[in-house]
């Protein structure tokens, strides 16, 4: 006898049971619908890119995290994010695209990093970017989109925190910290994850003096309503051009958000938000759930200077956000915020009581599918087993057809939640379901 292989997945890869997949797809559908409502065009680049293209910016840590292989003469890699493929795509097709170019992409990416709880080697990213516009009003669209998505997710209240890297970089110049700016930004980005003592120690290690650390901490912890913070930025008395530009852009973003009817309570200027990555140059965003801080950032992004620098001489600024849906779904499920239960999209199960009524049941199912998803149960088993199946799947209604129903051209509609039975024609069931 041949040995039976144990069914299992490689570490860091994931799959869902039907109830989980239905809920995951529901969230993904909300994201896609909102992206399209704001005029973003769909894009689907290949999972596999040429390694020389994917690694054009340089290897380093990225090269250690990619899945790379050779096939014939080709050196190939699985994409590790959706931004690098976007840069390649825009550079390759820039003569055919209308700028500003607005695209969304939802797809799996792969990273060969150490797998751990909520951090996978294959996961879904849901990205949108606008390429080729410098407008702060475009920057404001992204919090508006985040607001609409998470409002529909209905996980409770949330806060979209906004900052501008020009404000921070201009302040660093004023303090004489320009050379250490990258390290300082990465340290500030950890402000909620480490103690104040550790934060101060790391800033000293990065080359900050005691006075610089004191002024820096006083600045980034400026508090108040959004307009108060903007006023305090004016009163700081920094005439640095970059600082002034960043403060002006923050004001423009807030003004546009009010015009787009984004609730003020959900938008907060926060000078600790840095998005530690080097390539952000302007507005930056982070979103968190108010009652579930343990989930962390659920959507983030920002503005960058030149997306296509590695592939084209044309300078194309951009701004974008990303929702890591696989990681978010894992965190929400672990926190008990989402509890997938519905194991089918069908609202109705149609079942004949005996094989004699099978043709009538198939006909009724065909009519009902005009208004909702329908399952037909065609196996010749006891009615109790059929109803138990419907109950286990979470189907709301069972449409039963026996000898009497078939003779009268009716069906019996059973509400699986209340247990109520009603006799009626199929067209009346259609009306009820539509209502």
Structure confidence at residue 60 (pLDDT): 65
Structure confidence at residue 42 (pLDDT): 98
Q: Residues 413, 424: contact at Cβ < 8 Å?
A: yes
Please name the CATH architecture into which domain 348-434 falls.
3-Layer(aba) Sandwich (3.40)
Structure confidence at residue 43 (pLDDT): 98
Which residues in the chain are classed under CATH 3.30.930.10?
Answer: 11-152+296-341, 157-290
Which residues in the chain are classed under CATH 3.40.50.800?
Answer: 348-434
Structure confidence at residue 243 (pLDDT): 95
Structure confidence at residue 342 (pLDDT): 87
What is the 8-class DSSP label of residue 294? Answer: G
Structure confidence at residue 69 (pLDDT): 93
Question: What tens-digit pLDDT sequence spans the chain (435 residues)?
Answer: 678 999 999 999 999 999 999 999 999 999 999 999 999 999 999 999 999 999 987 666 678 889 999 999 999 999 999 999 999 999 999 999 999 999 999 999 999 988 777 789 999 999 999 999 999 999 999 999 999 999 999 999 999 999 999 999 999 898 888 888 888 888 888 888 888 889 889 898 888 888 988 998 999 889 999 999 999 999 888 889 999 999 999 999 999 999 999 999 999 999 999 886 667 899 999 999 999 888 888 999 999 988 888 899 888 999 999 999 999 999 999 989 999 988 999 999 999 999 999 999 999 999 999 999 999 999 999 999 999 999 999 999 999 999 999 999 999 999 999 999 999 999 999 999 998
How far apart are alpha carbons 47 and 65 in whole angstroms?
A: 15
What 292-295 contacts at long range (C-beta under 8 Å, 24+ apart), as own/partner pairs, is 292/155, 292/156, 292/332, 292/335, 292/337, 294/331, 294/335, 295/328, 295/331, 295/332, 295/335, 295/337
Q: Which one is the CATH code of 11-152+296-341: 3.30.460.10, 3.40.1350.10, 3.30.930.10, 3.30.1330.40?
A: 3.30.930.10
- Asked if CATH classification 3.50.50.60 holds for the domain at 157-290, the reply, yes or no, is no
What sign does the CA torsion over 80, 86, 91, 92 have?
Answer: positive
Structure confidence at residue 208 (pLDDT): 87
Order of strands, sheet of 411-415, starting from the edge strand that comes earlier in the sequence: 374-376, 348-352, 397-401, 411-415, 421-424
Task: Name residue, tokens 């049941």.
Answer: 361
Structure confidence at residue 277 (pLDDT): 63
């Amino acid at each position: 006898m041949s040995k039976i292989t144990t069914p299992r997945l490689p570490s860091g890869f994931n799959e869902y049971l039907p109830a989980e997949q239905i809920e995951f797809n529901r969230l993904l559908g909300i994201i896609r619908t909102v992206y399209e409502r704001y005029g973003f065009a769909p894009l689907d680049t290949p999972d596999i890119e040429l390694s020389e293209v994917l690694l054009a910016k340089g290897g380093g840590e990225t090269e250690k995290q990619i899945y790379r292989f050779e096939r014939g003469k080709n050196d190939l890699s699985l994409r590790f994010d959706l931004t690098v493929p976007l840069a390649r795509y825009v550079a390759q097709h820039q003569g055919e695209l209308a700028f500003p170019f607005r695209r969304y992409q939802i797809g799996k990416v792969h990273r060969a990093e150490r797998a751990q709880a909520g951090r996978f080697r294959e996961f879904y990213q849901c990205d949108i970017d606008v390429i080729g516009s410098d407008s702060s009003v475009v920057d404001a669209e992204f919090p508006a989109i985040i607001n609409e998505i998470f409002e529909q997710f209905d996980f409770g209240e949330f806060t979209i925190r906004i900052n501008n890297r020009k404000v921070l970089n201009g302040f660093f110049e004023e303090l004489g910290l320009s050379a250490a700016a990258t390290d300082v930004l990465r340290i500030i980005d950890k402000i909620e994850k480490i103690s104040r003592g550790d934060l101060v120690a790391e800033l000293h290690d990065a080359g900050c003096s005691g006075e610089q650390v004191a002024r820096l901490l006083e600045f980034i912890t400026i508090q108040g309503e959004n307009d108060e913070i903007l006023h305090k930025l004016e009163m700081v008395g920094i005439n640095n051009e970059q600082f002034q530009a960043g403060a002006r852009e923050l004001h423009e973003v807030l003004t546009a958000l009010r015009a787009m009817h984004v609730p003020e309570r959900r938008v907060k200027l926060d000078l600790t938000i840095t998005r530690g990555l080097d390539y952000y140059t302007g507005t930056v965003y982070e979103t968190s759930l108010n009652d579930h801080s343990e989930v962390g950032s659920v959507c983030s992004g920002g503005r960058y200077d030149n997306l296509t620098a590695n592939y084209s001489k044309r300078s194309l600024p951009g701004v974008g956000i990303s929702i890591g849906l696989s990681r978010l779904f894992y965190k929400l499920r672990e926190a008990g915020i989402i509890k997938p239960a519905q194991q089918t999209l069908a609202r109705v199960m149609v079942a004949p009581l005996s094989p004699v009524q099978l043709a009538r049941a198939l006909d009724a199912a065909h009519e009902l599918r005009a208004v909702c998803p329908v399952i037909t149960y065609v196996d010749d088993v006891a009615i109790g087993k059929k109803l138990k199946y419907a109950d286990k799947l979470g189907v709301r209604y069972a449409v039963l057809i026996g000898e009497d129903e078939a003779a009268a051209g009716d069906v019996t509609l059973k509400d699986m939640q209340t247990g109520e039975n009603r006799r009626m024609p199929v067209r009346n069931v259609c009306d009820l379901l539509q209502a």
